[in-house]
Chains A and B, each alone.
Chain A
Amino acid sequence: MAHSFQVWIVDMDKETGKTEKKSLEAVFHNDGKAAENKAQELEKGTMLEIKALYARIGEKEILRGIDLQVNPGEVHAIMGPNGSGKSTLAQVLAGREVYEVTAGEVLYEGKDLLEMDPEERAREGVFLAFQYPVEIPGVGNTYFLKAAVNALRKHRGLEELGAREFLVLVKEKMKLLEIDQKLLDRSVNEGFSGGEKKRNEILQMAMLDPKLAILDETDSGLDIDALKIVANGVNALRSKDRAMIVVTHYQRLLNYIVPDYVHVLFNGRIVMSGGKELARELEEKGYAGIEEQPANALTVNS
């Protein structure tokens, strides 16, 4: 693991107030998959490597030393309470300029991701499914999808799709994702329900065929039926070449999109990592039991 510091899981007994610390290593190494994955990762090469990433908005520091490594085929869940920096991390990876990266680096397929414009990242295969997809009145969804697909195809040296080929492709994907074709005739996200917006995000993902997909709170605002449809869509897009980072507040989504790894983000740092069972543990105990180690403790233990 690329973590440069020691993190702890803190269990607190509510009645006595006593706490028990377990080191992350203990949790992590209990997961038999870790060694196996390690071997796979060496074979395929790392897709994304985040090293000691710090970012802020205005004067407010939000990310305070994120380390994370993602390999092809893996699904990583990032969980954490509100304000922990989950969405910021997703936006920083997609290139949102309002967030200023103050330290650290992000390598994507060995290249400096932070140096790239948002459109370059997209063309290189990074995709962010927005927590709040933006409504764009006056731009037809079909036109938008086609412009995006062709921007990527052009970048990859492929011929741009004509209107007919595009429609065939988009209708096929819509069928796969159980999306009503009427969404094509409307302006991008304009007047879409919460579920329609999220499904439209997954449709875009299917059309753009990314290498690294980041899903930011894709479950928020969805009822259980919509959630299943979205999750099925995401699962249909899982492949050994595609990595996914699933950002979510609740464990619920992870019942449907089962991750290989779960990371807990707290106060701008990943304080805990583990296998998929960690998510269930968090669901039971809540985020209240998680606490960041003071800096001096880190020094002592590392």
Chain B
Amino acid sequence: MVQVMKEMDTYLSNFELLERELAGNRQPWIHRIRKAAISRFSELGFPTTRDEEWKFTSVAPLARIPFKPVGAHEGDGVDSLTFNQLKHFTLGELDCIRLVFVNGRFSGELSSHRPMSSGTKVSSLAAALDSHRDLLELNLTRNAGYQNHAFVTLNTAFLEDGAFVYLPAGKVVEQPIHLLYVSTSQKEPTVSNPRNLIVVGDNSQVAIVESYVGLEEGVYFTNAVTQIVAGRNAVIDHYKLQQESMEAFHIATLAVHQDRSSNFTSHSISLGGALVRNDVNARLDGEGAECTLNGLYMAAGQQLIDNHTRIDHAKPHCASHELYKGILDGNARGVFNGKIYVHPDAQKTDAKQTNKTLLLSPNATINTKPQLEIFADDVKCTHGATVGQLDEDAIFYLQSRGIGRKDARRLLTYAFANDIVSRIKILPIRAYLEETLLAGRSLSEVQEAL
């Protein structure tokens, strides 16, 4: 208990510092939200493995480290960071609107702007606190699970910067919007709390790409929250590429609220991080809404990657499709928990969930759990989970054609992942991932243990 208090103290005293720093600079309404959040966090504390939602993921290693927020004008080398250093993470220099954040803070210099059609807004969240107060105030406290998810409350308490995207009704943003979160190595372990709010009006369409990258190895903590609000008939493609440092902690929640006949697709790719937890929560809150969640997690060494998804079918005639695939090597651990909650009203729900995991080493483990809670009687819900190894028949087949055993394993591993990668609609992102998976850091690390 004493230990727990000490762990929380770090954040409580950090909060006081932040409050002092921001005193008078910000509107009282955001101050109220922050205050309420820190107070809620102090009640909740960090989750333990006794908590059903955190049964297989202990955050004790994270809680033990006294992470410090990066001050507005601190940070080694941040000012001298150039676009060239980020080039590798620009997804093949993807033609896009790019907002770059360094250690959680928006960098205007590194970002690229484009003129927007009237009413459409793409900016840092800090800049939108004044201009779009109503939208922010309405959304920052709803749908993100802020009352019961310790890390979301923590993010809200330290809410300062992130991305703000707003499309009025009937707008299409042609280029993807790339939110690039870069962490640099600091003397002491640091924490950032990115907060993204994406509001897409009726009949509007946009693609959002979130990247989280570590520029160099180092211990840091990214605690991100993204909220997406999809209006009627809105079409939203969401990509998340998590390539944090191998020593980093990454905890993130994506909360989506979908109105009638909206279409939301998420592709969540997790490659980096020592301890990673992704929550994806989608609420289908209008008839005919459709939601697709695709995920790929690749871990080796001592990595732990936990994916929790929850789809709420709140209205009738909604469809959800979910496919998560994992590749685990070394002593890596994976967790998949897929909850589908069909509310009493939600007749004619069509929900399909699949989780497939490939274990490349005898010491890798996966805990996979489908969780269907159905309170309507005329629905179609299916789920399936498979855990397996590389197919020896296929390895031999490739070898018998002159392809070396190591390359054969590599090719088959890639093929398993490619099932997800090939669903990515933005070609430069797909190409970037294909390259990363075939030759890049993550797969070469997977290969080392073969």
Where the two chains meet, the residues of A that have a C-beta atom closer than 8 Å to any C-beta of B are: 94-98, 117-119, 121-123, 127-128, 130, 133-134, 136-139, 144, 147-148, 151-152, 155, 187, 204, 208
Contact = CB atoms under 8 A, between A and B. Distances in A.
Contacts, number: 79
Contacts of B393: 134
B411 A147 contact: yes
B401 A151 contact: yes
Contact of B401 (A96, A117, A148, A187): A148
A282 to B, nearest CB: 29
A208 B412 contact: no
B403 to A, nearest CB: 5
A22 B407 CA distance: 52
30 contacts: A94-B396, A95-B400, A97-B396, A118-B399, A118-B400, A119-B399, A119-B405, A119-B408, A121-B400, A122-B400, A122-B402, A123-B402, A130-B400, A134-B394, A134-B396, A136-B394, A136-B412, A137-B415, A139-B412, A139-B415, A144-B401, A144-B411, A147-B401, A147-B407, A147-B411, A151-B407, A152-B402, A187-B415, A204-B401, A208-B402
B235 to A, nearest CB: 27
A213 B63 CA distance: 62
Contacts of A95: 396, 399-400
A70 B290 CA distance: 63
A117 to B, nearest CB: 7
Name the residue in B393, B401, B407 with the highest tally of chain A Cβ atoms < 10 Å from its Cβ.
Answer: B401
Contacts of B402: 119, 122-123, 148, 151-152, 155, 208
Contacts of B399: 95, 117-119, 122
Contacts of B405: 117-119
A45 B105 CA distance: 75
A138 B416 contact: yes
Interface of B: 391-394, 396-405, 407-408, 411-412, 414-419, 422
Nearest to A187: B415
Contacts of A123: 402
A130 B401 contact: no
Contacts of B415: 136-139, 187
A130 B400 CA distance: 10
A208 B397 contact: no
Contacts of A127: 400
Nearest to A137: B415
Contacts of B408: 119
Contacts of B414: 138-139
Contacts of A134: 391, 393-394, 396-397
A50 to B, nearest CB: 18
A138 B415 CA distance: 4
Contact of A147 (B391, B400, B403, B417): B403
A290 to B, nearest CB: 31
A49 to B, nearest CB: 21
Contacts of A97: 396
B135 to A, nearest CB: 42
A221 B293 CA distance: 40
Contacts of A94: 396, 400
A137 B429 CA distance: 21
A122 B403 CA distance: 8
Nearest first, the 7 closest Cβ-Cβ pairs linking A and B are A138-B415, A122-B402, A148-B401, A118-B399, A151-B402, A134-B397, A138-B418
Contact of A208 (B394, B401, B418): B401
A130 B419 contact: no
A187 to B, nearest CB: 8
Contact of B404 (A119, A133, A139): A119
A165 B402 CA distance: 19
A151 B391 contact: no
B400 A128 contact: yes
Given A139-B411, A139-B412, A147-B411, A96 B403 contact: no
Contact of A118 (B391, B396, B411, B417): B396
Contacts of B392: 98
B400 A151 contact: no
Contacts of A133: 397
A210 to B, nearest CB: 10
Given A136-B398, A148-B398, A148-B403, 8 more contacts: A94-B396, A97-B396, A130-B400, A134-B396, A136-B415, A138-B418, A144-B401, A208-B402
Nearest to B404: A119
A243 to B, nearest CB: 17
A99 B405 CA distance: 17
